[in-house]
Chains A and B, each alone.
Chain A
Amino acid sequence: MKRTTAALLAVLLLAAACDSSGGGGSSTSDVPGVTDSEVVVGTHMPLTGPAAAGYSKIAPATKAYFDFVNANGGIHGRKITYKIKDDGYNPATTQQVVRELVLQDKVFAILNGLGTPTHSGVLDFLKTNRVPDLFVASGSRSWNQPDRYPGTFGFNPDYTVEGKILGTHVRSAYPGKKVCFLGQDDDFGRDSLAGVEKILGPVAAKQTYVTSSPNVGPQMGALKAAACEVVVLATVPGFTALSLGTASKIGFKPQFVVSNVGADPATVGKALGTAAPLLEGVVSANYLPLTTDDASPWIQLFKRVNAEHNGGAEFDNNVVYGMSVAYLFVQSLQAAGRDLTRDGIVAAVRRNGFQGPGLVPLRFADKDHAGYGGERLTRVEGGKAVFFGPAYTTDDGDAAVQPHTGPVVTPPQNGIPAA
């Protein structure tokens, strides 16, 4: 057993060695991750594993936009370094990589960490270490607890907001029809159902699924047996495809209304393969410009950045999402000013006033840390999602769903937000 001791000593030596070599990036200022010429931020993303499909494209797109900004001189003379850590959508790994980013790599902030179960586990850690936790990539309402987590801010419209907007559309477009619901068995499904029921009252039938069991046959059978005419889906892309396919197989043809999270026609169509035409007529919603809208100056900008700095990756909603997050972070850096501090950027985000690619305003305020406050409806026509009707805004409480009539914003000439 002396070997145990020897082994432990070896670990000590190694750890010490690793530390002396890996503890670089010393900063001249007192703020972690910030020097006169650089600001280091980090993220955790599922680059591999079950949730990697689609989502793994977000962080590289964000990085590509930062590279574009860096190539044009950076922000306040600082280049943005974006450290991307793969957590495989495993909460235990998220714990590890976020600790590595904060304690070892000394990042200034965590940006756009992805996933409800994964990110929930690091909220307390980030709070204790006073690390700004900006623009979390998920629509859970957990990010909006300014009293408990003063440094955490969301990005996506939360699932209840979305549920209310989808519910409002269902009420006006399909009056008197029997409405049912299939949702993921977590905050995503529960919050979404809460929003739908807030508008429509109790749905006729509701079913849940878990991602670990790729079969929605029983659920679709039950919804068919309940004679549902409209089915609202709070599903991730793979399960949207599975639900549409399974329904078609059992001869069940309701109107599908799908959460933004699981409705990207490129991703779902790929999963459906030859059955992609099943997507025709599916209603969903979005809050960022559509990839197919070549007339949008935002899409033109992002496509240019994608070609120049992202190796021309296939241009889908995930790329637009990643670059929109990057744009918002650059705006936050500009707003936080030349003397960049952690408190400074949190205060800047709270002040809000950002105008970017989003169709509706961000909700950030002193007592509100939720992201976008609404969405605009889309319908799949000819294999492409197209917008219809106005954009709507609401909140996750009892506020009414209202059409949004704000000015359309175009990106600045050079594609980089000014201070």
Chain B
Amino acid sequence: MTGSVTEVARPGTATPVPEIRGRRRIPPIVPVLIGAVVVAALSYVLPPFRNYQLATVGAYFTVTAGLTVLTGLNGQLSLGHGALMATGAYAFALAQNRWLTMPLSFLAAIAATTLAGVVIGLAAARLRGPYLAGLTLAVAVVVPSVTSTFDETFHSDMGLSVALDPPPGTIPVERWQAWLCWAGALVTVLLLAMLVRGRFGRDLRAVRDDETAARLAGVHVARTQVLAFVVSAACAGLAGALFAVLAQSVSPGAFPLTLSLFLVMAIVIGGLGRLTGALCGAVLLVALPALAQTAGERSGSQHLEGNLALVIFGVVLVVVMLAAPGGLASIRFTRQSRRNR
């Protein structure tokens, strides 16, 4: 997977600017449909383990897309999205273990995190910069303690196992997982793309760039911020539920603080505020640890691997920020990104 970093951006190398202008009028449904076809094709071509990785990319894409809208377009930094994913995952697991109806469980996951998003978002709208980061960090720390305080329901550090029906027909599990995760991701991305294209998107950017000016222009700043948080929380909740499907279990250990930090790092490397950047970030979240593991195995050290992933992530972050401050998604589109800013 070494080449993915550059590969992702390369196809656009020679794209002249006017063409981009023309392309921007294409409604988001078109690329999403193309994406769906590609994923479906991939899921048949790839061997099972690559299908599983593909599914994981989809699940990560669901959360990074929401997070990049919040952080990139609205300027709110959240270090607690891992915890919101945990909220969604637990809600999914509880609903699934009780009713064993997957659509219902997904709804429960989204509803629970939306609620959590409203609460945190209301508090967040009153806070700025480092204080907001602190609040969301607190959320990331609190969620694991909730699972041990109410251990009758959440089974503490052990977590819950998730009851899942076998996939319909003779579909292999991994292909089914890839379909589920990418259905979630593509629907999320479609909704987000439509949302940020309209008035809401303009409000988001206006609030990010200058709150006073936005307020003078008639934008309801606090409402916009809360809404942005709620939307991205719902995405995180869905992603959490998808992770529960992938892992067939939910436990606090699966949603550590480092996950939240990795998510932020991924969208920064990918390119803040761009859904393509979120995709790059999601790919990296799967590819880099795998790369680190391979590198560790090649070097013959058994103890290096876990730490190597962090090192590689750090190095990639530094290199990308030096070479392309706008993130990977901006590499071949510098002029356009400048104009967008």
Residues of A participating in the B interface, judged by any CB pair closer than 8 Å: 1-16, 18-19, 23, 47-49, 52, 56, 59-60, 84-86, 88-92, 95-97, 99-100, 103-104, 116-118, 120-121, 124-125, 128, 184-187, 208, 210-213
Contacts and interface: CB of A to CB of B under 8 A. Distances in A.
Contact of B306 (A4, A49, A100): A49
Given A1-B30, A10-B8, A187-B158, A92 B247 contact: yes
B14 interface: no
B28 interface: yes
Interface in B241-256: 243, 246-249, 251-254, 256
A6 B11 contact: yes
Contact of B158 (A15, A97, A117): A117
Nearest to A7: B8
A99 B55 CA distance: 13
Given A2-B31, A4-B276, A10-B4, A86 B305 contact: yes
Contacts of B322: none
A59 B305 CA distance: 14
Nearest to B252: A212
A6 to B, nearest CB: 4
B295 to A, nearest CB: 12
Interface string B153-185: 001111101000000000001100000000000
6 contacts: A4-B279, A6-B11, A91-B254, A103-B52, A120-B161, A185-B156
Contacts of A186: 155-158
Given A3-B329, A11-B42, A212-B148, 7 more contacts: A5-B38, A14-B4, A85-B293, A88-B306, A100-B49, A120-B158, A120-B161
Contact of A1 (B42, B158, B161, B193): B193
Interface of A, helix, strand, loop or mixed by DSSP? helix
B157 A4 contact: no
Contacts of B280: 7
B254 A48 contact: no
B107 to A, nearest CB: 23
B19 to A, nearest CB: 10
* Chain A to chain B: the 4 pairs with minimum beta-carbon distance, closest first: A48-B306, A1-B31, A6-B11, A103-B49
Given A18-B50, A19-B46, A47-B303, A95 B26 contact: no
B158 A12 contact: no
A118 to B, nearest CB: 8
Interface in B212-271: 243, 246-249, 251-254, 256
Secondary structure at chain B's binding surface: helix, strand, loop or mixed? helix
Nearest to A87: B306
A47 B252 CA distance: 19
Interface string B28-63: 101110110011011001111110111011000000
Given A1-B28, A1-B31, A104 B49 contact: yes
A56 B303 contact: yes
Contacts of A208: 151, 156
B26 A10 contact: no
B122 to A, nearest CB: 27
Contacts of A2: 12, 23, 26, 31, 34
A92 B85 CA distance: 13
Contacts of A13: 7
B296 to A, nearest CB: 8
A77 B8 CA distance: 46
Given A1-B31, A91-B247, A213-B148, A14 B156 contact: no
Given A8-B35, A12-B45, A19-B50, A1 B26 contact: yes
Contacts of A1: 23, 26, 28, 30-32, 193, 275-276
